Structure 1
Amino acid sequence: MVLLQHILALPFLCLGYSSIAASAPANSNGDPSSSYPWQWGGAHQDVGYWFDEFQDTLATMQSPTFWNGTYWPASIQWIGAVLNTLVVASDRSLAHALQEYGGGDVPGAYTTAASIQIETQKYFSDVEAYYGDEDVIQIFDAAYDDAQWVVLEWLEAIEFINQYDAYANSALGQADIARFAHRAHIFYNIVQSQFDTSLCGGGITWNPALAPYKNAITNELFISSSIGMYLYFPGDTDTDPYPSPAYVNATNTTLPALPALAAHNPSLLTTAVEEYAWFKTHNFTDAQGLIVDGFHISDNQTTCDQRNEMVYTYNQGVLLSGLRQLWEATGDAMYLTDGYAFVQTVINATGWYARSAAEAGQWTGLGRNGIMEDYCDAPANCSQDNQIFKGIYFHHLDLFCDPLPTSTPLVAGLTKVAPAALASEHASKCASYTPWIKHNANAALSTRNSTGVIGGWWGASYVNKTQEPWPAYAAPRPRGSSDEWNEPWVLEQEPWLCRGWHCREGGRAKRGNRKRTAGLFSMRGAAAKRDANDGGRGRTVETEGSGLGVVKAASDFTLRSAS
C-alpha cells in the first residue's frame, strides 16, 4: 500500500473558496525536490508499480467480496453497467500493456506477460457472464441517463473485442459482437429521438416521470453515446425490441418492432454535433468553469430559466470521451481544445495549483490539497449513486487522453489522422496531467482497509482523518443548489415533482419516479461488513470502482509517458 508519508502536516481546512491561479507553477513536475508537497506524484513513478496497483484494485473489485460470478449483488442497475464498463476498459489496458512491450513482460511488474493474457481472458469471461445477468428490464424503464450507461458499456466491449483481436490475432468475443450490439441498439433507441427543441431550445430531459429537467449528465451521455454509436456500432437488423424475453410478462407491455440501424449512420454524427453545440451554448458552467447539474423550466415557460448550481465530479468527465470521439469523426481541433479547458478547470478546482499549504487545504470547488472530492465525501453522506462518480470522471479522462493516431485511423475510412504537431500537443497536455492523476491515485490507495477495499473520501489521509463522517470538513454547497443525489427526498418537492402531461412519454408510463438508491446509511449483501472507520455507506463496490477508475488511469498515463 502506498503510504502518504511525503505529505506535510497540513493546517485545518478553511471552508470556502480561494482564488487559485489558473496556470501551473513551472516546477509542477511531480519531483518532491522542486514541487509543492501536494504536487508530488509519490515515491513510485515507474510503470511496473502502477500496473501492479491497477491489477490489485481490479482483482479486489472482482473478488467474492463484491462479485458473485455473474454480477455485483450489492450494486444497483446503472452502476452495474458502469462497473462492467470499467472491467472492459481494464481489459483494454491489460492488452495495451502487452502490445506496448511486444507481448513481453511489463518492466518492474510482478505479473508476467503470460499471466496477463490469462487475466485478460478471465475478465472478459466476467463481462460475458454479466451480459446474461444484467437487470435490463428495470434499467430499460428507468431514466434517460440510465439507458445510456448501458449503451456505453456494450460499445466499450465491442471496441475491446476488435482492438484485442486485431493485436492478438484471436477470435476472442467475436461471437458476442452481434448480441452486444443489439443491446446497445435497444437502449440507444430509448433516447435516439428525445432531443426536444420545444423546451430550452434542445437537449434531453432527465426523467420523463419528473417535471422537465435538462441536466448535464443525460446530455453529456447523449453526446458520448451518439458519437460512440456512429464510430463503433457495427449495425443491427434484429427487430426484437425487448431487453429481455421476460419483459412482456414482467411489465404487461408490448413494444413496437425495433427499427434496423446501419453501422456509421450519418444521423448519429449529426446528433452528436448538434447536441454538443446546444450544450456549449446553454450556460452549463459556473463562474469557475465547472459544469453544474442542470436546468429546471418554470411553469408557463419554455426556456431553461432555473439553474441548479450543484456540482458533481462525474458531470465534469463524461463529456471528455464524447469530445475526443467528435474530434475522431470530424478532425475539428475545437473539440480537443474544449476538452483541455474542462480538464484544466477541474485540476484548478482541487487546489493543485495553490501556492501554500494553507491555500491548498481550502475547498476550491471540487476538492482540496490537489485531491478530487464530491461535496458528500467528508460528511460521509454520499448515496450509493454518488460513490461511483469520481471513478467515472477518471475513466472518461483516460479515454480522452488516448494518443491521437498519426498514421492509421482508428476506424478505417471513417476517422481522422492527426497532424504530427497536433498529436504531439495532445500527448504533451495529457502528460502534464499525470502527476495530478498519480496524486489522486495515491490518495485513493491510502484509504484501503485490511482487505484492500478503497474508501470514498480520498482526501481523508491528507488531513489526518479516517473514513468516518467529519461534518466540520463539509464544504458548503453552492448557493442555489439542490443535491438530488444525496438528498433524494427533494424529488418529492417542487420543482421536481411531476404533475403534467410529460409524466408519460409516448403513451408509456415510466415506472418509478425517482432515482433508485439502496439507502444513504445502509449496506446490502456481501459488502455489509464495515470497519470502525467506515461512515455513511462505508466501503462498497462503488468506492472500489471509483478507486479502480483513478488507479487504472494512473497506470495508463504512466505507461503513455514511458512510451
Structure 2
Amino acid sequence: MIATRLWVAATAVASIASPVTARSFLPFSRDVANAEADPTLSKGQIFEDMLSALKTMQDTYFQPWLGTWPTAIDWTAAVMGSHVAGALSSLSRGFEQKELAESIDYRVRENLITTYFSQLISYYFGQDAIAIRNEAYDDILWVVLGWLDAIQFINYHAKLYYPSSPIADPQGGIAGMLRNQTWYGNTWIPPFAHRSRLFWEFAVKGWDTRLCDGGMNWNPRLEPYKNAITNELWISASANMYLFFPGDDNTSPYMAGASGPHDPAKPHERKYLDAALDGYAWLSASGMTNDQGLFIDGFHISGYNQNSSNTKCDVRNEMVYTYNQGVVLTGLRGLWTVTGDDRYLRDGHRLIQNAVNATGWDLRGDRPVDDLGGLKPGQLPPWRGLGRGGVMEDQCDVSGDCSQDSHTFKGNYFHHFTAFCAPLDVAVPPASSSFASGSVAGDLAEVAREHDAACSAYAHWLRHNARAALATRDGRGVFGMWWTAGLLNLGGTSGGGGAIVPTTPDGDGERGVDYRTYGVPDDDVWVPHGGANVAHSAARNLPAAAAYRSGQGQVPLDSSRGGRGPGDASDPNTRGRGRTVETQGSGLALLRALWEVENRMAR
C-alpha cells in the first residue's frame, strides 16, 4: 500500500506532469460525516476480525517448514504473500493508535508482527521461483507485486517504530550499538527487491506492439490473447517498481548475459514509469469494457490461425471477473502519485463505482437496489453483473464450481481497492518537485479531501459485504467463497433451506469463455495448430475443461467441481472446492479494506 507520498525529481516527471484541478470524485453530493453509524460492527471489532482472519489463515494453511501454503498454487501463493504483507501494514498502523498502544504491551505487539513477518521471510525461500518464471505473464507479475508489498510494509514499520538516524549516546560501546540498530526487517529489502526486479524483467517479454497496437500478451504458449488482468498487473507492477523498488546490485541468478553482468538497477528508473504510462494508455484505448463500465476479460485476433494479415484485437471474450475491476487500481494510484494528474484518481473512482453498482448496491441511498426482505426461502436477488443484493460475486459462486483461480479473485479486488483508497499525502513537496508548488498545493489538498470523501462513501457497501462474508465462516473461522449465502442465511436456518432459485438467469449465452473456471478450450481460437498438449500443460483446472466444451458451463446448484463431492447441503460453501486458503485470503482482504476506510473516517 502507498503509505507515504513520494515526490520525485523534476527531471523524472516534467514531461508528463499536468496541472491538478479539484473536482468531486462522486457523481452526487453526499455528507459522509453524517451517514448513519452501524452499531453491529465497530471499528475495534473489525480490527479484531481482521487479526483473527490472518491468524486463522496462517495457523490453518501455512507450513513454516515448507515456507508456503501447500494447498495454494504458484500464483495464488504469491497473492497470499501480498495479503500477509498488507495485513501487517494495517496491524502496524493499528497498534500505533492510542487505544491499542496503551492497552497492549509493545513487546506483545512486536512479537505478533515479527511472527507473521518471519513467515513471509520463510515464503521467500518456499516460493518456487524457478517454475513461476516459465509460467504465464500474469503469474510472473503477481510475484513482482507481492515482494514490493513486502518492501512497503518493511519501510512503513521501520519508519513508524525504529529511528532512521543515529541517536547520540555519550556512553558508546554496546549500549550505543543497540540503541542505533535499525529494524531487522531492513535486511530483507535487498533479496525482496532482487526478486521483484528479476520477475519484472521476465514479464517485459510479454509486451508486444506488433499485435493490437500494444498491450501485454497473456501466455506465450497459447494463441495471442491480450487480457485485462495481465495488462492491469503490468500497469500496477510497473508503477510500484518506479515508486518502491529501492535499486538492486545483485547480478545473480539469471542477470548475466553474453556480454557480462547487467548494470546495477537504480531506484525510480524511467523505464518502469514509461511501462506503466504506456500500459494504461493502451488499456484505456482498447475498448475492453462493457456497457456497465466493467472490464471484460480480453481480446483474441480473428483469423490469426488462418494466416490472416489481421493484427487487430477484434474478438472479445465477454466474461467478467471481479479481480479485473480491481488490480489496475494500484497502478492508477501510483500514476497519480508520480504525475499529480487527477485523471488517474477519477478513472479509479469511476471503476470502483461501476463495480459497486454492478453488485446491486445503490451508493446514493447506501442500500441494495433490490428488496431483500421480500425474497422467498432459497430465492436469490437478480444478478446485477458483478453480484447480487449488494454483495460481490463471481459468476461461478452460485453454482459452487469455482476453480482455485476464482477463489482468489475477490481478495485481489479488495487488496488493490485498499491501495487505491489510502489517504493522499499532500504535504508541500521540495522545490525540486515538478508539479506541486504554490497555488497547486492548495488544489492538491482539495483533491485529497474529495478522494477521502469518495473512499469513505464506499464504507457502507464494504460493511454490507463484510457482514455477509463473516457469516460464511465455519467452526474454524475459515471464510467461504460465496458471501451472498451469508447475507441471505442460506443453508437450512431461518427459512434458508431448500432449493436455491435465482430470480433471473446468470447467463444468457453472451458470457464468453470462463476459462478461469473451466479451463482453456481446446480449439483454434486458443491453441496453436498442433498444440493441444501445450494448451493442456498451460491451462488451469483442466479436468473441468472437457465439461465446459461439452456445454455444461452452468452446473446444477447441488453439483460439485474440484473432486470433493457435493458437500454439506446445509452449507452452500462446502460445495466444489469448499473453503480454501484462497477464500480465507479474500475474507482477510475485505476486512482490511473495511478497517482502513473506517480508520480514515475516524481521523
**TM-score normalized by structure 1?**
0.83
Q: Which amino acid is the alignment partner of residue 42 of structure 2?
A: D
Q: Secondary structure at the match of 1:307?
A: strand
Residue 90 in 1 paired to residue 87 in 2? yes
Contact 1:241 1:257 in 2 (8 A): no
Contact 2:320 2:511 in 1 (8 A): no
Between 59-68 and 546-555, report the one with greater CA deviation.
59-68
1:175 equivalent to 2:210? Answer no
1:39-438 residue pairs with structure 2 within 5 A? Answer: 43-69=39-65, 70-101=67-98, 104-105=101-102, 114-169=107-162, 170-242=182-254, 260-298=264-302, 299=304, 300=308, 301-353=310-362, 354-357=368-371, 361-407=381-427, 419-438=444-463
Deviations 1:396-454 (CA, angstroms, capped at 9, x unpaired): 000000000021769x9699677211111111110001111111111110001111111
Amino acid aligned to 2:85: V
Q: For structure 1, list consecutive stretches of 5 or more residues without a partner in the other structure.
A: 1-21, 35-40, 244-253, 504-508
What is the CA–CA distance in structure 1 between the aligned matches of 2:402 and 2:297, rounded to whole Å? 16
Closer, same or farther in 2 for the Cα pair 1:174/1:355, shift >3 Å?
A: closer
Question: Matched residue of 2:517: which SS?
Answer: coil
Q: Is the 8 A contact 2:295 2:320 kept in 1?
A: yes
Contact 1:293 1:312 in 2 (8 A): yes
* Mapped partners of 1:409, 1:95: distance in 2: 26
2:299 is paired with a residue whose SS is strand
Q: What is the CA-CA distance between 1:224 and the residue it aligns to?
A: 0.4
Could you tell me which of 542, 557, 561 is aligned with 2:582? 542
In structure 2, C-alpha distance between the alignment counterparts of 1:341 and 1:362, rounded to whole Å: 23
* Contact 2:251–2:264 (8 Å) recurs in 1: yes
Q: How does 1:12-23 map to 2 (within 5 A)?
A: none
Equivalent residue number for residue 460 of structure 1: 485
**Residues 65, 518 of structure 1: alpha-carbon distance in 2 compared, 3 angstrom cutoff:** farther
Output the CA distance in 1 between the equivalents of 2:577 and 2:119. Answer: 26
> Does the 8 Å CA contact 1:238/1:258 hold for their aligned counterparts?
no
Matched letter for residue 223 of structure 2: A
1:199 is paired with a residue whose SS is coil
Q: Distance between the aligned counterparts of 2:125 and 2:42, measured in 1?
A: 38
What is residue 10 of structure 2 aligned with on the other side? none
Q: Aligned in 2, Cα 1:67/1:27: closer, same or farther, shift over 3 Å?
A: farther
Q: Alpha carbons of 1:193 and 1:488: their partners in 2 closer, same or farther (altered >3 Å)?
A: closer
Q: How many residues align?
A: 511
How much does 1:387 deviate? 0.3
Instruction: Check 1:117–1:157 CA distance in 2 against 1; reply closer, same or farther (3 A cut).
Output: same
**Maintained 8 Å contact 1:230/1:266:** yes
Q: Is residue 485 of structure 1 aligned with residue 494 of structure 2?
A: no
Cα distance in 1, alignment partners of residues 500 and 30 from structure 2: 36
For 2:517 and 2:271, how far apart are their aligned partners in 1? 37
**Is residue 225–residue 300 contact of structure 2 (8 Å, CA) maintained in 1?**
yes
Matches of 2:125 and 2:335, distance apart in 1: 32
CA distance in 1, matches of 2:112, 2:543: 31
Amino acid corresponding to residue 445 of structure 1 in structure 2? L
CA contact (8 A) 1:155 1:181 kept: yes
Other structure's SS at 1:192 match: helix
The question of 1:514 aligning with 2:539 is answered yes
Contact (CA 8 Å) 1:186, 1:258: kept in 2 or not?
Answer: no
Query: Residues 42 and 403 of structure 1: is their aligned pair in 2 closer, same or farther, counting only changes over 3 Å?
Result: same
Evaluate the alpha carbon distance shift between residue 322 and residue 65 of structure 1 in structure 2; reply closer, same or farther with a 3 A threshold. closer
8 Å contact from structure 2 (residues 235, 280) kept in 1: yes
Amino acid at match of 2:597: F
Give the CA deviation at 1:162: 1.2
Q: Distance in 2 between matches of 1:255 and 1:514?
A: 36
Q: Secondary structure at the residue paired with 2:515?
A: coil
Q: Would you say 1:495 and 2:525 are equivalent positions?
A: yes
Cα offset, 1:115, TM superposition: 3.0
Residue deviations 1:117-176, cap 9 Å, x none? 221111110100100111112211100000000000011111111111111114231111
Query: What's the offset of the Cα at 1:530?
Result: 6.9
Residue 294 of structure 1 contacts residue 309 of structure 1 at CA under 8 Å; is this kept in 2?
Answer: yes
Structure 1 contact 29–435 (Cα < 8 Å) conserved: no
TM-score (norm 2): 0.78
Q: Could you say which structure has the larger radius of gyration?
A: 2
Gaps of 5+ in 2: 1-25, 163-181, 363-367, 375-379, 545-559
Question: For the residues of structure 2 that align with 1:163 and 1:409, how far apart are their CA atoms?
Answer: 19
Deviation at 1:237, TM superposition (A): 2.4
Query: SS state of the match for residue 402, structure 1?
Result: coil
Change (3 A) 1:470 1:259: farther
Residue 262 of structure 1 and its aligned partner are, at CA, apart by 1.7
Q: 1:55 to 1:206 in 2, by over 3 A?
A: same
The Cα of 1:239 is off from its aligned counterpart by 2.1
Deviations 1:228-251 (A, max 9, x none): 1111111112222449xxxxxxxx
Percent pairwise identity? 39
Instruction: Give deviations 1:239-288, integer Å, cap 9, x for gaps.
Output: 22449xxxxxxxxxx99955542211012111111110110011011000
In 2 relative to 1, CA 188–489 (structure 1 residues): closer, same or farther, beyond 3 Å? closer
Q: Give the aligned residue type for 1:440.
A: N
Instruction: Letter of the 1:240 partner, please give it.
Output: S
Does the 8 Å CA contact 2:566/2:576 hold for their aligned counterparts? Answer: no
Deviations 1:183-226 (A, max 9, x none): 11110001224321110010010001000000000000000011
Does the CA-based 8 Å contact 1:208-1:510 persist in structure 2?
A: no
Structure 1 distance, partners of 2:435, 2:157, is 19
Shift of 1:480: 5.1
The verdict on how the C-alpha distance between 1:464 and 1:516 changes in structure 2, with shifts beyond 3 A counting, is closer
Q: Secondary structure at the match of 2:226?
A: strand
